[in-house]
C-alpha cells in the first residue's frame, strides 16, 4: 500500500521548490523551501530522540514562529500525532488537555514551563521560544532524520480540540487523507499558484492559520509573508508585496478603521478570504466600496476542514458562505423546505471522530452517516449556503424560534451601532427572552425606545427586551464572539423584567 502520509506530498513540493523563498518578511526572515525541509527533518529527529514513536501524541502550546512550523512538519514526518493548543489557555485549562490527549511529550513556551510542570510533573516537557531557542532545540537529534513514516490515509495526523464554548472541549481526529484532500481542493478552487504571496497574520494553533493558509501555499510552492501577529499598520505595509490574504472578519474591520487602508496599498492583491466567524454584510459592502475587492467568504470547522466557499471566478454574495467544495455534500435538516435547519455534511474532509469519546462521536452523526455541524443554515435553489446561527444559539421565545443573526443584522444597520450580539436568557413566562449586547459606533447611544422603534420591522417576539452596551464584544483568538460569556451577564435579567 502506498504511503499516504500527507508530509510525503509536502516534501515533494519542497523538493520541487528548493531554492524558492517560503517564509519572508521585512525583518530579514528568509526561509527557503529547502531550509524548511531541513528544519522539519531536524525536528523529526529531535522528537524521536525524545522517545516519541509513531502514533504518540505531541501536545504543543508555543508562540507562532518558523520553528513552530518545523515542529508540526517534523511530527508529521515521524508519524507523530500533533496536538496544538491555543496559546491563551491557562494552566488549569491545559491540565484537561494533558489528561485527555495523554501526550508522550509536551512542548511549551519557556515562560509557561514552571506552570506546566506543576500540573504535569510526570510528563516529559521541553520548551520552544518564538525566537527559535529553548530546551527542545538543544535536544541532540537522532544521527539520521527518520524516513517519512508510512501511514494510511485513515491514520490520525492531528487532534484539534474544539473551542469548548459549552461543556468540555472534544478532540477532533483529522486523518492524513482529510488534510490532503481539503488542501488540494482549496488550491484548485482559489487558483493558488507558485506566483502567489500570502499575507499570514493568523495564529497557527488553529485550522485556519495552520491548515487552510499553510497547507495550500506549501503544496503550490507559494511565498508566505509571515507576521507574528495581526497589526493593521504592519499588514498595510506588507500588502503591496502580497497577492493573497486570509483573515478573520475582525481583521478586515480593523483594516477599514485605519485611514491608511485604501485601494492604493493593495495594487498587487488578487484575493481576500475571510472565515472562522461570520462576515457582516456591512463589512463586505464597505470593503468593496473602499478597495474594489469583494471578500471571498468560506465556511469550515475543526471537524471537517473547509466545507463551502464562495466562488473565485463567480459572484461572491454577501451574507452567504458559498457552495460545497468538490466531493462535499450539504443538506439542511428542517421539517419544511425553504426554512432554516441544522447543516449536515458528508465528504472526504470530515473527521474520523472525537478522541477517546465514542459517545460524542456517535451523537455527532446521523443514522445514515451525515455529520451534524451544529450550525443552522438554509440553501438557495442553486445550492448556495447561508448560515443563520448556531443550533445552540437558537432562542425559543414562547415556542417561536429566534435566529440571533437576523436580529444582529437589523441592529447592525443602525448608524450608532458598530456590532451586536444576541443571546438568550431564562424568562419566567416565555421560557427564553432575547437580550442584546451592543458596541457603539460613536459616543451617541440611542435610547432603548429608539432601538425598539428601529427594530419595528421584526416580529415582536424577536425584539430584544434588554439592551446592554459594551466597549467590545468578548472574542476568542480566532475572532468568534464568546456568547457563553455574554449569557452569564444576563442570566437573571428577566427575573425582574416583565
Q: CATH number of the domain that 244 lies in?
A: 3.40.50.12780
Same domain flag for 410 and 374: no
Q: How do residues 293-334 score in pLDDT, each as one tens digit? A: 999 999 999 999 999 999 999 999 998 999 999 999 999 998
Same domain flag for 374 and 416: no
Q: How many CB atoms lie within 10 A of CB 115?
A: 15
| Residue 444: band (very low, low, confident or very high) from pLDDT cuts 50, 70, 90 | confident
In this prediction, residue 496 carries a pLDDT of 59
Q: How do residues 360-396 score in pLDDT, each as one tens digit? A: 999 999 999 999 999 999 999 999 999 987 787 888 7
Of the two residues 169 and 127, the one the predictor is more confident about is 127
Of the two residues 21 and 338, the one the predictor is more confident about is 21
Same domain flag for 357 and 375: yes
In this prediction, residue 8 carries a pLDDT of 97
Same domain flag for 266 and 290: yes
**Separation between Cα atoms, residue 65 and residue 80, nearest integer Å:** 20
What is the DSSP track for 402-449?
A: E-HHHHHHHHHTSTTEEEEEEEEEEETTTEEEEEEEEEESSS----HH
Boundaries of domain holding 470: 394-495
Same domain flag for 358 and 465: no
Nearest 5°: the CA angle 125, 172, 352 is 125
Task: Say which residues have a Cβ less than 8 Å from residue 488's Cβ, sequence separation at least 6.
Answer: none
Last residue of a domain, one of 341, 370, 391: 391
CATH label of the domain that carries residue 412: 3.30.300.30
Smallest Cα–Cα separation from 202: which of 188, 187, 212?
212
Do residues 273 and 179 touch, judged by C-beta distance below 8 A? Answer: no
Q: Exposed e or buried b for every residue in 404-441, given b needs 16+ CB within 10 A? A: bbbbbbbbbebebbbbbbbbbbebeebebbbbbbbeee
Same domain flag for 58 and 21: yes
In this prediction, residue 143 carries a pLDDT of 61
Instruction: Output the nine-digit C-alpha cell for 427.
Output: 424568562
Across residues 271-283, what is the average pLDDT?
89
Write down the residue that cell numbers 507559494 correspond to: 222
Across residues 178-203, what is the average pLDDT?
97
Task: Say which residues have a Cβ less than 8 Å from residue 130's Cβ, sequence separation at least 6.
Answer: 62, 63, 64, 65, 68, 109, 228
**Separation between Cα atoms, residue 441 and residue 41, nearest integer Å:** 50
Structurally, how many domains does the chain consist of?
A: 2
| Residue 498: band (very low, low, confident or very high) from pLDDT cuts 50, 70, 90 | very low
Instruction: Output the nine-digit C-alpha cell for 445.
Output: 447611544
CA dihedral 328, 334, 338, 339 (to 10 degrees): -120
Give me the percent of the chain exceeding a pLDDT of 90. Answer: 78
Across residues 276-280, what is the average pLDDT?
82
| Residue 166: band (very low, low, confident or very high) from pLDDT cuts 50, 70, 90 | very low
Give me the percent of the chain exceeding a pLDDT of 70. Answer: 98
Same domain flag for 464 and 487: yes
Do residues 342 and 349 touch, judged by C-beta distance below 8 A? Answer: no
In this prediction, residue 167 carries a pLDDT of 54
Q: Exposed e or buried b for every residue in 174-186, given b needs 16+ CB within 10 A? A: bbbbbbbbbbbbb
For 314, how many CA atoms within 13 A lie in the half-sphere containing its CB? Answer: 9
Same domain flag for 14 and 90: yes
Write down the residue that cell numbers 488540494 correspond to: 184
Q: Exposed e or buried b for every residue in 359-394, given b needs 16+ CB within 10 A? A: ebbeebeeeeebbbbbbbbbbeeeebbbbbbbeebb
Last residue of a domain, one of 391, 417, 435: 391
Q: How do residues 394-434 score in pLDDT, each as one tens digit? A: 887 876 778 788 899 899 999 999 999 999 988 877 778 89
In this prediction, residue 394 carries a pLDDT of 80
**Separation between Cα atoms, residue 266 and residue 305, nearest integer Å:** 28
Do residues 427 and 490 touch, judged by C-beta distance below 8 A? Answer: no
| Helix (H) / strand (E) containing 378 | strand 371-379
In this prediction, residue 459 carries a pLDDT of 79
Same domain flag for 72 and 216: yes
Same domain flag for 169 and 279: yes
| Residue 163: band (very low, low, confident or very high) from pLDDT cuts 50, 70, 90 | low
Same domain flag for 32 and 163: yes
Same domain flag for 370 and 473: no
Instruction: Measure Cα distances from 272 to 24, 227, 239, 316, 393 in Å.
Output: 19, 17, 11, 11, 28
**Separation between Cα atoms, residue 421 and residue 282, nearest integer Å:** 15
Do residues 270 and 282 touch, judged by C-beta distance below 8 A? Answer: no
Write down the residue that cell numbers 492583491 correspond to: 269
Last residue of a domain, one of 391, 415, 435: 391
3-state secondary structure of 321: coil
What is the DSSP track for 17-53?
A: TTTSEEEE-TTS-EEEHHHHHHHHHHHHHHHHHTT--
Amino acid at each position: 500500500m502506498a504511503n499516504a502520509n500527507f508530509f510525503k506530498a509536502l516534501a515533494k513540493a519542497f523538493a520541487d521548490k528548493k531554492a524558492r523563498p517560503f517564509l519572508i518578511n521585512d525583518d530579514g526572515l528568509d526561509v527557503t523551501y529547502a531550509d524548511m525541509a531541513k528544519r522539519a527533518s531536524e525536528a523529526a529527529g529531535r522528537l524521536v530522540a525524545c522517545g516519541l514513536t509513531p502514533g504518540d501524541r505531541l501536545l504543543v502550546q508555543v508562540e507562532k514562529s518558523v520553528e513552530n512550523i518545523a515542529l508540526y512538519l517534523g511530527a508529521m514526518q515521524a508519524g507523530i500525532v500533533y496536538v496544538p493548543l491555543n496559546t491563551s489557555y491557562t494552566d488549569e485549562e491545559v491540565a484537561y488537555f494533558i489528561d485527555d490527549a495523554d501526550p508522550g511529550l509536551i512542548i511549551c513556551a519557556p515562560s509557561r514551563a514552571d506552570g506546566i510542570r506543576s500540573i504535569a510533573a510526570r510528563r516529559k516537557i521541553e520548551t520552544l521560544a518564538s525566537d527559535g531557542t529553548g530546551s527542545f532545540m538543544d535536544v541532540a537529534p537522532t544521527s539520521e532524520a527518520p524516513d517519512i513514516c508510512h501511514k494510511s490515509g485513515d491514520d490520525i495526523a492531528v487532534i484539534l480540540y474544539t473551542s469548548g464554548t459549552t461543556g468540555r472541549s472534544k478532540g477532533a481526529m483529522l486523518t492524513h487523507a482529510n488534510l490532503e484532500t481539503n488542501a488540494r481542493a482549496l488550491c484548485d478552487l482559489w487558483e493558488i499558484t507558485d506566483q502567489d504571496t500570502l499575507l499570514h497574520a493568523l495564529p497557527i494553533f488553529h485550522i485556519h492559520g495552520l491548515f487552510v493558509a499553510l497547507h495550500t501555499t506549501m503544496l503550490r510552492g507559494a511565498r508566505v509573508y509571515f507576521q507574528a501577529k495581526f497589526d493593521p499598520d504592519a499588514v498595510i505595509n506588507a500588502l503591496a508585496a502580497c497577492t493573497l490574504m486570509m483573515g478573520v472578519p475582525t481583521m478586515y474591520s480593523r483594516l477599514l478603521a485605519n485611514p491608511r487602508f485604501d485601494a492604493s496599498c493593495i495594487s498587487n492583491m488578487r484575493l481576500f478570504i475571510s472565515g472562522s466567524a461570520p462576515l457582516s454584510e456591512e463589512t463586505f459592502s464597505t470593503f468593496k466600496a473602499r478597495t474594489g475587492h469583494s471578500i471571498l467568504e468560506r465556511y469550515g470547522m475543526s471537524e471537517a476542514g473547509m466545507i463551502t466557499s464562495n466562488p473565485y471566478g463567480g459572484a461572491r454574495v454577501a451574507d452567504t458562505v458559498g457552495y460545497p467544495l468538490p466531493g462535499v455534500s450539504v443538506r439542511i435538516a428542517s421539517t419544511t423546505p425553504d426554512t432554516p435547519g441544522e447543516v449536515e455534511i458528508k465528504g472526504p474532509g470530515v473527521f474520523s471522530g472525537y478522541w477517546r469519546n465514542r459517545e460524542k462521536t456517535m451523537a455527532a452523526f446521523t443514522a445514515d452517516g451525515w455529520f451534524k455541524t451544529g450550525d443552522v443554515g438554509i440553501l438557495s435553489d442553486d445550492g448556495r449556503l447561508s448560515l443563520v446561527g448556531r443550533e445552540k444559539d437558537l432562542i425559543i421565545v414562547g415556542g417561536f424560534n429566534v435566529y440571533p443573526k437576523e436580529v444582529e443584522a437589523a441592529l447592525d444597520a443602525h448608524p450608532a451601532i458598530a456590532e451586536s450580539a444576541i443571546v438568550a436568557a431564562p424568562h419566567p413566562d416565555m421560557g427564553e427572552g432575547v437580550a442584546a449586547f451592543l458596541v457603539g459606533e460613536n459616543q451617541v447611544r440611542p435610547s432603548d425606545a429608539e432601538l425598539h422603534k428601529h427594530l419595528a420591522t421584526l416580529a415582536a417576539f424577536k425584539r430584544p427586551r434588554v439592551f446592554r452596551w459594551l466597549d467590545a464584544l468578548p472574542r476568542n483568538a480566532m475572532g468568534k464572539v464568546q456568547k457563553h460569556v455574554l449569557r452569564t451577564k444576563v442570566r437573571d435579567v428577566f427575573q425582574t423584567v416583565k
